[in-house]
Amino acid sequence: MPLLRQIAQLGHPVLRTPSSHVTIPVPDRIRELADDMLATLREAAGVGIAAPQVYEPLSLFIVASRPNPRYPDAPLMEPEVVFNPDIIERSDELVKDWEGCLSIPGIRGQVPRHQRIRARYQTADGLVVEREFAGFVARIFQHEFDHLEGLMFLDRLESTRDIITEKEYQKLVAR
């Protein structure tokens, strides 16, 4: 049975620790970690979670896009469990849009991200995947990838004026 994990909050040093490579094929302990992360993500109704957010500085995250008020056209996808990722291409085009983070409750920020990326990563069984992502899914991928490098979305803001509270954000998306 997967366990719900505690989510590290902004200020905890694990969120600023660069992640270590995961050995492939993935050991049982790490498979259990991935299952726990998936359960924790569902419980929190998030669209992505990275291992450092559950106090494990390992190169692993989950991308799980689904339609939401801000991105009604976001694809509903099977959660993708990503090991040892690399972003190998980034479009020149940057798009600024709202993000939140389970480790920074109560605020949202408008973050510039590349509109399209090409990524290479491994599956739990050691398959190497090369895949292109665009729009909202590319945004999630870049956000989670940053967590593996000890970066938070706050580090990507152009201005502190691009931060708003969750309450104000909810008013915005309800319009």
Residue 153: phi, psi to the nearest 5? Answer: -60, -25
Stretch that binds Ni ion, among 2-10, 76-84, 93-101, 108-116 (CB under 5 A): 93-101
Q: Pattern 97-136, binding to Ni ion, x per CB under 5 A? A: ----x-----------------------------------
Q: Which residues contact 144 (CB under 8 A, 6 or more apart)?
A: 48, 49, 50, 61, 62, 63, 82
Least separation in angstroms between residue 64's CB and Ni ion is 13
Considering CB under 5 A, how many residues would be counted as binding Ni ion? 1
DSSP state letter for 20: B
**Omega of the bond prior to 25 within 30 degrees of 0, cis?**
yes
78: annotated active-site residue: no
Q: Which is nearer to Ni ion, 22 or 49 (CB)?
A: 49
Question: Which of these is catalytic: 32, 99, 144, 168?
Answer: 144
21 by Cβ neighbours in 10 Å (0-12 / 13-18 / 19+) ranks as exposed
Residue nearest to Ni ion (CB): 101
Q: Which is nearer to Ni ion, 34 or 101 (CB)?
A: 101
Q: Which residues contact 120 (CB under 8 A, 6 or more apart)?
A: 85, 86, 88, 128, 129, 130
Least separation in angstroms between residue 60's CB and Ni ion is 14
Comparing CA positions, the residue from 119, 131, 118, 58 lying closest to residue 85 is: 119
d(CA 174, CA 98) in angstroms, rounded, equals: 14
Least separation in angstroms between residue 147's CB and Ni ion is 6
82 binds Ni ion (CB under 5 A): no
Least separation in angstroms between residue 144's CB and Ni ion is 7
Catalytic residue positions, numbered: 144
Chain residues that interact with Ni ion, rule: CB under 5 A: 101
